[in-house]
């Protein structure tokens, strides 16, 4: 009986679905928290703004709008708002809440992780797939897969698309596989262009003599369609929205030469994205070891995929310019390739106990260095009262200004539209007169960020955290 129970337990813990579910449940901790964590709260509230405006103003997915465009409509070019639209659809059913995007991203990212396992298991081996998937789960993926951001969300969808593309090329050449490849890959890349890196294996396998010409032609045609949709969105529709509605928000990158020039002074920060942010120190060390073992063992196909994906990623880094070293999440599209190389290196170690020790160490380091992101700083929770304050002094349609600098977090929590400005602008009477003429009715001042700042208008509210002045 004990032997049978031990066998069942062994089967369960060797099933990757158990671990994907376990990590999903672990990341449900704090899933209903509002986006007030320190890391990238600004991106999360921007995503929520778009979703909330779909719900309250206009549900047309082609016209995403933000709240910090002053007197303008807020309609502007952004990443394709698929995640935001899913938040809107859930909100239609259950009413709006700040955290839906966290759960949606976590569910989609977990499904993508499973397809990652299936790809490697089918095309290489299941042991490599298991180790690579565990490493992916504790990489930067661990924290960002529960943020209201499209990065892991996008990569996960493209991974699922890649699975069906490979199924079409190598196994069942059915229309369903080709259709799912096209729809999923296009949807993921629409959300984030750099996710195209995930399709590196498809691009290389077009040169595989074992695949029929008909399948290559069909997959190439589908890939062309995949490229057309993001091309239309980012290179026609985004500029059109900016020109038509007069508000710029989305960074479209820079020229390669300018990017190279900008990146020259950020060499350490660029390297840090690889040796720390992606997989932490132990994971990166195993990644390097895996690359060495791939070279020694002359694994040509796997090496070609890693090299090709790396050069595509370098191109993305150059186009991103100095934004790449400033944002840790930019490394996410390349992480699946890093964990693949690391898992290969781990599998070449002959002693099983060393493999287990290293994998456990990577898990512990990965979680340990990201667990802080699951806890909100209590010193930030006072911002959650902003809508209550705003409702006491203003109408929902009143334009306001708040000293949030470039972070629209506090403007989002007021549930108002207007301007997020610096302390210097709050003290600039000429600037304040300009936005007053544009319709700004109230000035909110965060006292913690500006102890001595005072506006000469009528004070209509004050507590320990905020002062509000009427500009009417």
**Per-residue confidence (pLDDT) for residue 264, from 0 to 100:** 87
pLDDT tens, position by position, 87-107 = 999 999 999 999 999 999 999
- Identify the band that residue 171 occupies on the pLDDT scale cut at 50, 70 and 90: confident
pLDDT tens, position by position, 193-243 = 999 999 999 988 888 888 889 999 999 999 999 999 999 999 999 999 999
Which is more confidently placed, 424 or 113?
113
> Is the predicted pLDDT of residue 48 greater than 60, yes or no?
yes
d(CA 40, CA 420) in angstroms, rounded, equals 16
**Per-residue confidence (pLDDT) for residue 345, from 0 to 100:** 97
Rg (CA), the chain: 24
* % of the chain at pLDDT higher than 70: 96
Q: Which residues contact 179 (CB under 8 A, 6 or more apart)?
A: none
Classified as helix, coil or strand, 102 is: helix
Q: Helix-strand-coil percent breakdown of the chain, rounded to 5?
A: 65, 5, 25
Q: Which of 149-153, 253-257, 396-400, 439-443 shows the lowest mean pLDDT across its residues? A: 253-257
**Per-residue confidence (pLDDT) for residue 250, from 0 to 100:** 84
pLDDT tens, position by position, 137-147 = 999 999 999 99
> Is the predicted pLDDT of residue 49 greater than 60, yes or no?
yes
Which DSSP letter does residue 75 get? B
Closest Cα to residue 52, out of 17, 103, 101?
101
> Per-residue pLDDT averaged across 440-460, rounded?
82
Sign for the pseudo-dihedral over CA of 350, 353, 354, 357 = positive
* Residue 216: strand pairing partners: none
Closest Cα to residue 153, out of 4, 43, 13, 39?
43
Cβ neighbour number for residue 315 with a 10 Å cutoff: 14
Cβ–Cβ under 8 Å, residues 457 and 443? yes
> Is the predicted pLDDT of residue 2 greater than 60, yes or no?
no
Q: Is 217 exposed, middle or buried (0-12, 13-18, 19+ CB in 10 A)?
A: exposed
- C-alpha dihedral, 400 to 404 to 409 to 412, nearest 10°: 0
pLDDT tens, position by position, 307-351 = 999 999 999 999 999 989 988 999 999 999 999 999 999 999 999
Cβ–Cβ under 8 Å, residues 349 and 343? no
d(CA 28, CA 134) in angstroms, rounded, equals 18
Classified as helix, coil or strand, 200 is: helix
Alpha helices in 321-385 (DSSP H): 323-326, 335-347, 352-368
Which is more confidently placed, 134 or 374?
134
Q: Tokens at residue 387, please?
A: 């809508």
**Per-residue confidence (pLDDT) for residue 449, from 0 to 100:** 75
| Helical packing angle, 82-94 and 100-123, nearest 10° | 130
Task: Break the chain into its structural domains and give their ranges.
Answer: 378-470
Which is more confidently placed, 3 or 57?
57
Which DSSP letter does residue 65 get? B
> Is the predicted pLDDT of residue 4 greater than 70, yes or no?
no
Q: Which of 333-342, 367-376, 405-414 shows the lowest mean pLDDT across its residues? A: 367-376
Cβ–Cβ under 8 Å, residues 44 and 149? yes
**Per-residue confidence (pLDDT) for residue 3, from 0 to 100:** 58
Which is more confidently placed, 331 or 5?
331
0.75 cut: is pTM over it?
yes
Give how far the C-alpha of residue 172 lies from the chain's centroid of Cα atoms, to the nearest Å. 32
Q: Tokens at residue 319, please?
A: 């186009």
> Per-residue pLDDT averaged across 433-439, rounded?
95
First to last CA, the chain: 79
Long-range contacts of 304-312, Cβ-Cβ distance < 8 Å, separation of 24 or more: 304/204, 305/200, 305/201, 305/204, 305/337, 306/337, 306/340, 306/341, 308/200, 308/203, 308/204, 309/197, 309/200, 309/334, 309/337, 310/334, 310/337, 312/196, 312/197, 312/200
> Per-residue pLDDT averaged across 386-391, rounded?
97
**Per-residue confidence (pLDDT) for residue 453, from 0 to 100:** 64
Classified as helix, coil or strand, 401 is: strand
**Per-residue confidence (pLDDT) for residue 452, from 0 to 100:** 67
- Identify the band that residue 454 occupies on the pLDDT scale cut at 50, 70 and 90: low
């Amino acid at each position: 009986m004990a032997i049978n129970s031990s066998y069942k337990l062994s089967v369960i813990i060797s099933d990757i679905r158990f671990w994907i579910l376990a990590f999903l449940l672990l990341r449900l901790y704090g899933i209903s928290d509002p986006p007030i964590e320190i890391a990238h709260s600004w991106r999360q509230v921007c995503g929520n703004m778009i979703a909330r405006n779909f719900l309250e103003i206009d549900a047309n997915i082609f016209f995403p709008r933000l709240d910090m465009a002053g007197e303008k409509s807020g309609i502007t070019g952004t990443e394709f708002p698929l995640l935001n639209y899913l938040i809107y659809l859930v909100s239609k059913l259950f009413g709006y809440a700040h955290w839906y995007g966290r759960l949606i991203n976590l569910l989609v990212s977990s499904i993508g992780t499973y397809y990652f396992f299936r790809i490697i298991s089918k095309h290489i081996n299941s042991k490599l797939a298991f180790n690579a998937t565990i490493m992916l789960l504790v990489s930067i993926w661990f924290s960002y897969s529960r943020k209201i951001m499209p990065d892991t969300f996008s990569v996960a969808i493209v991974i699922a698309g890649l699975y069906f593309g490979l199924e079409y090329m190598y196994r069942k050449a059915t229309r369903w596989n080709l259709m799912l490849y096209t729809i999923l890959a296009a949807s993921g890349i629409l959300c984030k262009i750099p996710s195209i890196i995930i399709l590196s294996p498809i691009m290389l396998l077009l040169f595989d003599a074992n695949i029929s010409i008909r399948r290559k032609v069909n997959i190439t045609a589908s890939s062309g369609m995949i490229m057309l949709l993001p091309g239309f969105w980012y290179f026609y529709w985004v500029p059109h929205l900016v020109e038509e509605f007069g508000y710029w928000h989305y960074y479209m990158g820079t020229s390669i030469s300018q990017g190279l020039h900008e990146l020259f002074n950020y060499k350490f920060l660029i390297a840090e994205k690889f040796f720390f942010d992606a997989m932490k120190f132990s994971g990166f060390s195993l990644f390097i070891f895996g690359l060495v073992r791939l070279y020694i063992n002359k694994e040509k196909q796997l090496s070609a995929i890693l090299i090709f994906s790396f050069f595509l990623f370098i191109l993305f880094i150059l186009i991103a310019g100095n934004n790449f070293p400033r944002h840790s999440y930019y490394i996410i599209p390349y992480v699946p390739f890093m964990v693949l190389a690391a898992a290969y290196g781990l599998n070449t170690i002959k002693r099983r106990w060393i493999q287990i020790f290293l994998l456990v160490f990577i898990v512990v380091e990965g979680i340990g260095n990201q667990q802080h992101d699951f806890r909100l700083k209590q010193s930030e929770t006072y911002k959650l009262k902003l809508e209550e304050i705003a409702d006491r002094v203003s109408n929902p349609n009143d334009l306001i200004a708040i000293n949030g600098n470039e972070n629209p977090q506090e403007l989002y929590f007021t549930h108002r539209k207007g301007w997020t400005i610096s302390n210097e602008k709050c003290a600039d009477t000429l600037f304040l007169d300009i936005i007053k003429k544009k319709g700004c009715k109230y000035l909110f001042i965060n006292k913690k960020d500006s102890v001595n700042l005072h506006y000469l208008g009528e004070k209509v509210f004050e507590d320990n955290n905020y002062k509000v002045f009427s500009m009417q």
